[in-house]
């Protein structure tokens, strides 16, 4: 057993020799002859919440001009549960304006990214964030990422309580190094390094990125089972009893390599007290730290360690490390993954308005001054802000007496019409960033999805299906950043203008989809959809979802690609819907 694999990957070497993630970042920053950073720092800077990228649209032209690639940083905020105060929003708005492309990009993990931050602007950006006690630490890299939590407070009376778990886990799993403060915020070096002792991450951190989400049923907006660790709140008559704990979820696959596959997390038990939950989560990380694959990064995610060692081994090893045995999982039900658009009132009579933001891109266009509108709202100080995992935004915690004021602004900037008028399919769709900044993109995603949807909408109307919430997700490559393998219809880029089409995922996130056809161009996609939707319209049994219909109709259960069912069925409670 144990780590039955070869020599350490180069990333492992870099991490361990990085003097707690410092590397040569300071020198990289000082080098003003290039917008890039030194090779080893590329891996390290991620732990600080940044990726070095370049504008892929501009490569050829700049090469012609004898200019290097247009390097810039993508910077990701750490916002457990996706929460921002109005004051923090204002600060983020200004930082984005002063130092980035200006577009505020809501991610599929409940936070935001700024793109196009030049090297000389990185420090001002991070200092700007810091002024509003915002941080980017550990939002990327081989470490625990932003912790997700079902976003909408109306979901449950215990939402606030569950949200506290997200924050507690977030804090529990932060790295101990002081590098972030030294390098970016110019705080002076600590004398005694032992304060940097990191019992969890040591000097090797995790073998790979690590993701945790908490869902409050019946909403699965967080796509809880696509995470390394999924916590499913168990609530009985408005009382939080504890959490079902699932491990080994993850999306990314590799074209033409069955070794890499998407996997839904397997529910392995239930824990009641906060202490037990945190302890369990913590030890799952230590086990993955010790047993995860550190030689082949493509096999380093928890999901592969889970499959390699087996669930029983995991449960036993957990007992060894936590000192207690988890209870059997409690039954749970999900009914959707969508957001509740428009105004909603919670149990405390506070109001929450969910704004539809296509692919999470907050900017001002001729049609819609979205960015300005939200800034106006933030100026009133009458609300908080919560990002959703569907790349949308909730203007949150608006007191009844303030609702009118906020509503006025939303009306004035026609945010309300914009949200109302968007078609159902568009409102539920997601696309990842892909071009022009993502270095791994094989095809367009967020820049293309809107156009594709405009061509799909008429087809839905043609078959009178415009009122079906069919979940469509697109990515520019098989890494799965918009969780396309957990969609009813997934489009996964294979080459420029070409997408694999996957169908048959369920609507609530308990069953992955499967390959239907490979490398389709737009015409082929539209043609396939027209046929499939036509057949679906006629043959569907009462309110059967498209995903379920497709699963039996075209994939007749035959997994063309390993899915959750092949691993987790035994302990997955039947979906009561």
Site residues, ligand SF4 (CB under 6 A):
432-434, 438, 440-441, 445, 475-477, 479-481
For residue 23, give every residue at least 6 positions away whose Cβ sits within 8 Å of its Cβ, in sequence order, or none.
14, 38, 40, 41, 44
Residue 61: burial class (beta carbons within 10 Å; 0-12, 13-18, 19+): exposed
Q: Which of 66, 238, 404, 557 binds another protein (CB under 8 A)?
A: 66
199: how many CB neighbours lie within 10 A of its CB?
Answer: 8
Q: Least distance to ligand SF4 from the beta carbon of 441, Å?
A: 4
Largest CA distance in the chain: 73
Alpha helices in 328-389 (DSSP H): 370-380
Closer residue to another protein in complex, CB, 35/141: 35
Q: Which residues of 286-315 are buried (b: 16+ CB within 10 A; e: fewer)?
A: bbbbbbbbbeebebbbbbbbbbbbebeebe
Which SS3 state, helix, strand or coil, does residue 386 take? strand
Per CB under 6 A, the list member of 22, 99, 301, 551 interacting with ligand SRM is 301
Does 70 help bind another protein (rule: CB under 8 A)?
A: yes
Count of helix runs (H) and strand runs (E) in the chain: 19, 20
Residues within window 199-218 making contact with ligand SRM, judged by CB under 6 A: 209, 211
Q: Per residue in 493-503, is it b (16+ CB within 10 Å) or e — as a string? A: bbeeebbbbbb
Among 62, 315, 469, 553, binds another protein (CB under 8 A): 62
Shortest separation between residue 4's beta carbon and ligand SRM, angstroms: 20
537 is catalytic: no
Rounded-to-integer distance, Cα 244 and Cα 246, Å:
7
Determine whether 76 is an active site residue. yes
Asked if residue 68 binds another protein (CB under 8 A), the reply is yes
Cβ pair 482, 488 in contact under 8 A: no
Partner that binds at residue 252, options ligand SF4, ligand SRM, another protein, none, CB closer than 5 to 8 Å by kind: ligand SRM
Residue 220 binds which of ligand SF4, another protein, ligand SRM, none (CB < 5-8 A, kind-dependent): none
Residue 401 engages another protein in binding (rule: CB under 8 A) = no
118 binds, among ligand SRM, ligand SF4, another protein, none (CB under 5 to 8 A by kind): another protein
Taking CA atoms, 561 is separated from 258, 440, 495, 514, in Å, by 8, 22, 20, 6
> Least Å distance between CB 262 and another protein?
39
Q: Determine which residue in the list 440, 464, 495, 560 makes contact with ligand SRM, applying CB under 6 A.
A: 440
Among 76, 276, 350, 418, indicate the residue that binds ligand SRM (CB under 6 A). Answer: 76
Compare residues 93 and 145 and give the one whose CB is closer to ligand SRM. 145
* Token output for 434: 């892909």
**C-beta of 478: minimal distance to ligand SRM in Å?**
8
Interface with another protein, residue 257, by CB under 8 A? no
Binding to ligand SRM in span 16-75, by CB under 6 A: 51, 53, 74
Q: Is 451 exposed, middle or buried (0-12, 13-18, 19+ CB in 10 A)?
A: exposed
Per-residue DSSP letters for 259-290?
TS--BPPEEEEEE-SHHHHHHHHHHHHHHHHH
Annotated catalytic residue, options 477, 483, 498, 511: 477
Under rule CB under 6 A, residue 432 binds ligand SRM:
yes
From the list 197-205, 249-257, 311-319, 332-340, the region that binds ligand SRM by CB under 6 A is 249-257
Among ligand SRM, ligand SF4, another protein, none, the one that 113 touches (CB under a kind-dependent 5 to 8 A) is ligand SRM
* 69 is a catalytic site residue: no
Instruction: Return the SS3 of 207.
Output: coil
Query: CB 121 → ligand SRM: shortest distance, Å?
Result: 17
> Is 426 tagged catalytic?
no
- Our finding on whether 263 is near ligand SRM (CB under 6 A) is no
Contact assessment for residue 473 and residue 480, using Cβ atoms and an 8 Å cutoff: no
In the complex, minimum distance from the CB of residue 69 to another protein, in angstroms, rounded to a whole number: 9
Asked if 56 is part of the footprint of another protein (rule: CB under 8 A), the reply reads no
Instruction: Give dist(CA 130, CA 146) in Å, integer.
Output: 17
| Of 330, 317, 373, residue with least CA distance to 243 | 330
For the question of residue 438 being annotated catalytic, the response is yes
108 binding ligand SRM? (CB under 6 A): yes
Q: What is the DSSP letter of 435?
A: T
Q: Tell whether omega for the bond before 557 is within 30 degrees of 0, i.e. cis.
A: no
Given 63, 190, 241, 440, the residue binding another protein (CB under 8 A) = 63
Q: Identify whether 189 is a catalytic site residue.
A: no
Q: Which stretch binds another protein (CB under 8 A): 67-75, 409-417, 469-477, 526-534?
A: 67-75
Cα dihedral sign, 56-493-256-109: positive
Residue 49 binds: one of another protein, ligand SF4, ligand SRM, none (C-beta under 5 to 8 A by kind): none
The piece of 33-41, 232-240, 304-312, 405-413 that touches another protein (CB under 8 A) is 33-41
Q: Which of 289, 285, 313 is nearest to 229 (CA)?
A: 285
Catalytically active residues are 76, 145, 209, 211, 432, 438, 477, 481
């Amino acid at each position: 057993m144990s780590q039955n694999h070869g020599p350490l990957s180069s990333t492992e070497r870099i991490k361990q020799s990085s003097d707690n993630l410092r590397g040569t970042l300071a020198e990289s920053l000082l080098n003003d002859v290039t917008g890039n950073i030194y090779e080893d720092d590329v891996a390290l800077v991620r732990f600080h919440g940044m990726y070095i990228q370049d504008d892929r649209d501009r490569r050829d032209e700049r090469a012609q001009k004898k200019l290097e690639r247009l390097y810039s940083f993508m910077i990701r905020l750490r916002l457990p549960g996706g929460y921002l105060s109005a004051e923090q929003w204002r600060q983020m708005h200004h930082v984005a304006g002063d130092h980035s492309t200006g577009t505020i990009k809501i991610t599929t993990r409940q936070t935001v990214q700024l793109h196009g931050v030049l090297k000389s602007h990185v420090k001002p950006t991070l200092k700007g964030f810091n002024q509003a006690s915002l941080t980017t630490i550990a939002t990327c890299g081989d470490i625990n990422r932003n912790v997700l939590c079902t976003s909408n407070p109306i979901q449950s009376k215990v939402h606030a309580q569950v949200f506290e778990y997200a924050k507690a886990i977030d804090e529990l799993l932060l790295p101990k190094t002081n590098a972030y403060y030294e390098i970016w915020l110019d705080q002076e070096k600590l004398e005694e390094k032992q304060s940097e002792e990191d019992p969890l991450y040591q000097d090797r951190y995790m073998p790979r990125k690590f993701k945790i989400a908490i869902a409050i049923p019946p909403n699965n907006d967080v796509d809880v089972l696509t995470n390394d660790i999924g916590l499913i709140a168990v609530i009985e008559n408005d009382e939080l009893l504890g959490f079902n704990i699932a491990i080994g979820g993850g999306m990314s696959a590799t074209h033409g390599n069955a070794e890499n596959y998407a996997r839904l997390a397997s529910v392995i038990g239930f824990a009641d007290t906060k202490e037990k939950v945190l302890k369990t989560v913590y030890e799952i990380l230590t086990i993955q730290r010790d047993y995860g694959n550190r030689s082949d990064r493509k096999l380093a995610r928890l999901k592969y360690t889970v499959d390699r060692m087996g669930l029983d081994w995991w449960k036993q090893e957990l007992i060894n490390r936590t000192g207690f045995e988890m209870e059997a999982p409690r039954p749970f039900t999900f009914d959707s993954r969508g957001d509740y658009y428009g105004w909603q009132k919670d149990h405390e009579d506070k109001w929450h308005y969910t704004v539809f933001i296509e692919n999470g891109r907050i900017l001002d266009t001729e049609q819609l001054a979205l960015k300005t509108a939200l800034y106006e709202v933030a100026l009133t100080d009458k609300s908080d802000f919560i990002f959703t995992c569907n790349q949308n935004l909730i203007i949150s915690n608006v007191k009844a007496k303030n609702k009118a004021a906020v509503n006025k602004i939303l009306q004035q900037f026609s945010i309300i019409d914009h949200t109302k008028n968007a078609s159902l399919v568009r409102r539920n769709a997601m696309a990842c960033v892909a071009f022009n900044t993502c270095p791994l993109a094989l095809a367009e995603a967020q820049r293309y999805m809107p156009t594709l949807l405009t061509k799909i909408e008429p087809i839905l109307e043609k078959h009178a299906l415009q009122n079906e919430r069919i979940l469509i997700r697109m990515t520019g490559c098989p890494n799965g950043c918009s969780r396309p393998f957990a969609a009813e219809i997934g489009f996964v880029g294979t080459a420029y203008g070409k997408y694999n089409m996957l169908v048959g995922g369920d609507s609530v996130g308990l069953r992955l989809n499967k390959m239907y056809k490979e490398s389709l161009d737009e015409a082929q996609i539209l043609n396939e959809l027209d046929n499939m939707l036509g057949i679906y319209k006629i043959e569907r049994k009462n309110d059967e979802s498209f995903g379920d219909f497709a699963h039996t109709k075209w994939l007749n259960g035959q997994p063309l690609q390993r899915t959750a069912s092949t691993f987790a069925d035994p302990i997955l409670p039947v979906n009561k819907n």
